[in-house]
Amino acid sequence: MIPLPPDLNAITEARIVAEESGCDEQILTLRELEIAHLALPPNIDGVRRSRLLTTDSISTTWEGWDVIGGQRAFIRCLRPRWKADPVMLRRMSRGANSDCSWHPDGDWPHLRVMANGAPIVDRFPVEDVPATALLARLLGQGLHALDQLHSKGTFHGGPLALFLVEGRQGLRLIHMDAFNPNGSASDDIKQLADTICALDPLNADPVGQLAEEWAHSPPPTAADGLQLLTRCLSGILLAERHRLCVAGRSANRLDRSSRLSRAVRKLGALVSPPPGKFCLKSGSDGVIVIVESDGEVVRGGAAADASEGRFLPIIYSQTQGLDAQCARFLLRSWALRASGDETARKQINDELGGSDTGAEQLIRWMSAMARLRAARLLLSASQSAAF
């Protein structure tokens, strides 16, 4: 796929170059973009159209501004040749979801994205190599967004121009079409890795190097990618600990490791636990371990605590972090579930509305959080030793 020129003049210049080189495919693509630029009105239902972000076989997606509210807006417009085609209008309307509203009437048939934020492409080009914290945050948030998308059985299947950076909320994927079965999880991760690699053109950062490896050989799922990113950051922390021990007193090195430690802590807060309620183990003595999570707080413990009307003990929250002792108890309960009453456990799990797949995802998440916690403790110990 050729890079999309940002405006009409750039598209015309690229089309002339394509004509000279005799590349019919590029000529056709660029000519259709020229027609879309000229045919679409500059204002579409209160949105001032500006930059072209991405395109597909039936539509073009633009960045613009809401002339009334003064906020950034994103619209996906039907191509000019399909404007009055009832089949394409119905097909386009199927892309409406919680993120996109369908507007068949007005200045032009289009989907409007109900989100704020700046596209990740706004971070290009960069003059300096971004910090590890930024690359890790963007890669982790992108993997989390893809994991949510893939869990619904669909794929992005194209350039990731609509990754939006939404301030404190971080990176968010606006999926333009909820009915896209094409592509694969590995292809989406490869696109994300290519995007992160462009942020680190010198390949000078360990996270950037990890992304470069994924650009050629991506992990099979986004969840696996999060696990690998966690291990990479743990290794970076351990390397910083070694550097501190060797260097002794060095305020500059301590400051760098502190920033990295905060970045890892933010990553742990970013990757939320899978929501749900799960039964991890049921014994013949009636002891049942239940974990409940709303995505923000994880609680777990014996069923008696919940049956008496009390909340289960807090295992994790974004403010308090992970309780390592309770987490080890839950991990051990899941590992030894076969030694209990497995039939009763599965029955209780079904009654709670949980699944073994969700429980396994929760356990994998908890194990990753435990590794990050251990790495931060090692870093804190090395900082104390250095001073």
**Domain extents for the chain?**
1-39, 42-114, 126-270, 276-356
Q: Give the chain's length.
A: 387
Per-residue pLDDT of the chain (387 residues; tens, 9 = 90+): 445 666 677 778 877 887 777 777 778 778 878 888 888 888 988 888 887 877 777 888 888 888 887 778 888 888 888 888 888 898 888 878 777 888 988 888 988 887 666 666 665 545 555 677 778 887 887 888 788 778 877 777 665 656 666 655 556 666 666 555 567 888 888 888 887 887 776 666 788 888 888 988 889 898 888 888 888 888 887 777 766 666 555 555 556 666 666 666 666 555 677 778 888 888 755 456 676 777 678 887 776 555 544 567 788 777 777 787 778 888 888 888 888 888 888 888 888 888 888 888 888 888 877 777 776 666 665 555 544
- How far is 346 from 76, CA to CA, in rounded Å? 45
> Rounded to 5 degrees, what are φ and ψ at 166?
-110, 60
- How far is 85 from 363, CA to CA, in rounded Å? 50
Q: Which CATH superfamily is domain 42-114 in?
A: Phosphorylase Kinase; domain 1 (3.30.200.20)
Q: What is the four-CA torsion angle of 347, 349, 350, 351, rounded to 10 degrees?
A: 90
Q: Is CATH 1.10.510 correct for 126-270? A: yes
10 Å CB burial of residue 115 (0-12, 13-18, 19+) is middle
Tokens (6 digits) for 64: 């613009």
- How far is 219 from 186, CA to CA, in rounded Å? 6
